[in-house]
Amino acid sequence: MKKTKRSKKSRSWVIKQHRDKFYQKSKTLGYRSRSAFKLIELNKKYKTIKSNSNLLDIGASPGGWSQIAQKIIKTGKIVSLDIKDMEKIDKVVFYKKNFLESDTKNLILEEFKDRIDVIISDMA
């Protein structure tokens, strides 16, 4: 059976991904994704996430950003949304929902009641 160009590209991407130093470091440190380092750097530079922040993570799966936010936020609330499943993270409320749907908007408003300080998203 002849392999397609797409499967060659996918295989090549997986090989490059596993050689990537951030991928390897994320696995060593127990992060769910290499994108966790993006949020660490962004927060180091801009200091947007504080220990009492109420944070909404849109497109959260696999949970790398929620995982980092959970380490920073001590007294605030974290709500994560995605259409894909995500393994549970302590102190993170997860909903398997599409954030564009109107019932999701109501759910978010109900969860945060008074304020959302930070909205993050790593959707592409």
- When pLDDT is averaged across residues 86-115 and rounded to a whole number, the result is 96
What mean pLDDT, rounded, does the chain reach?
90
Which pLDDT tens digit goes with each residue over 56-80?
999 999 999 999 999 999 999 999 9
pLDDT band at 98 (very low <50, low <70, confident <90, very high): very high
Q: What is the pTM of this model?
A: 0.83
Q: What is the pLDDT of residue 23?
A: 78
Q: Are 118 and 48 in contact (CB under 8 A)?
A: yes
pLDDT at 112 over 70: yes
CA–chain centroid gap for 24, Å, is: 18
Q: Is 16 exposed, middle or buried (0-12, 13-18, 19+ CB in 10 A)?
A: exposed
- When pLDDT is averaged across residues 117-122 and rounded to a whole number, the result is 96
